[in-house]
């Protein structure tokens, strides 16, 4: 489990296609405090640390994960949002995020409003019904509040702090973004659809 509060920015430094995709991620974390097998959200995708060194960790990414996320577009030098797994007793500053990405949204518009940036994204049609005004979504691992919804499009705002401590300052129109819908919305929809 994660909170959607980004705790670091990593950089993809190596990519190797074996049976699965192996990625090395440079980070500012004290990797002596990370165990092999630990979960780390990488741009919102819950991945397992399979190797560690000073200032880096490796993850294996399955073909299923690549097909459901934007990880196929990772390249050497790509900056990504990182979050370590939630520990019992940690502050839950965002919302409950599983790291199980539901699909990929696309940025369709960006506009500065004061010091903030308003961003419009288009969700896949199959996920749009789960997104509600003033509800939560995780985008590239960041817990965000939805401002408005218009069909499959929805809007969010980034304040300057968020743009500085995450990779959101790097984004542009057309970028594909990992989208995880709110867990509560998923279960409410399942209960409504349930037929014994």
Say if residues 48 and 39 touch (Cβ distance below 8 Å). Answer: yes
Sorting pLDDT into bands at 50, 70 and 90, what band is 75? Answer: very high
Among 31-45, 55-69, 179-193, the least confident range: 179-193
At 96 the pLDDT is 85
What dotted CATH number matches 103-193?
Answer: 2.40.30.20
The whole-angstrom separation of Cα 107 and Cα 84 is 26
Task: Assign domain 8-84 to a CATH class.
Answer: mainly beta
Domain residue spans in the chain? 8-84, 103-193
Instruction: Detail the DSSP E strand segments found in 56-175.
Output: 56-61, 79-84, 103-113, 116-122, 136-139, 142-145, 148-150, 153-158
Nearest to 59 by CA among 177, 102, 5, 43: 43
Tell me the C-alpha distance between 102 and 128, whole Å.
11
Report residue 30 as tokens: 């004290």
Compute the distance between CA of residue 47 and CA of residue 115 in angstroms, rounded to an integer. Answer: 33
- What would the pLDDT profile of 20-55 be if each residue is shown by its tens digit? 999 999 999 999 999 999 999 999 999 999 999 999
| Length of the chain as a residue count | 196
Burial level of 8, CB count in 10 A (0-12/13-18/19+)?
middle
pLDDT tens-digit map of 151-177: 999 999 999 999 999 999 999 999 999
pLDDT of residue 164: 95
Q: pTM here?
A: 0.93
Report the pLDDT averaged over residues 132-150: 96
**Rounded percentage of the chain residues whose pLDDT exceeds 70:** 100
Q: Say whether 103-193 and 8-84 share the same fold.
A: yes
Distance CA 145, CA 131 (A): 10
| Residues in contact with 29: Cβ distance below 8 Å, sequence separation at least 6, in sequence order | 8, 57, 82, 84
């Amino acid at each position: 489990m994660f909170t959607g509060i980004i705790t670091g920015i990593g950089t993809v430094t190596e990519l190797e296609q074996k049976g699965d995709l192996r990625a090395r991620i440079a980070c500012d974390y004290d990797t002596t405090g990370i165990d092999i097998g630990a979960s780390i959200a990488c741009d919102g995708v819950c991945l397992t640390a399979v190797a560690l060194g000073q200032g880096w960790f490796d993850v294996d990414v399955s073909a299923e994960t690549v097909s459901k996320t934007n990880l196929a577009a990772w390249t050497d030098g790509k900056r990504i949002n990182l979050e370590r797994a939630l520990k019992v007793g940690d502050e839950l500053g965002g919302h409950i995020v599983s790291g199980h990405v539901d699909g990929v949204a696309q940025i369709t518009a960006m506009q500065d409003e004061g010091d903030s940036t308003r961003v419009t994204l288009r969700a896949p049609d199959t996920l749009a019904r789960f997104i509600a005004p003033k509800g939560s979504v995780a985008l590239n691992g960041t817990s965000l509040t939805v401002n408005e919804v218009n069909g499959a499009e929805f809007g969010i705002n980034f304040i300057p702090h968020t743009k500085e401590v995450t990779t959101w300052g790097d984004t542009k129109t057309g970028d594909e973004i990992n989208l995880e819908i709110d867990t509560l919305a998923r279960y409410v929809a399942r209960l409504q659809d349930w037929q014994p």
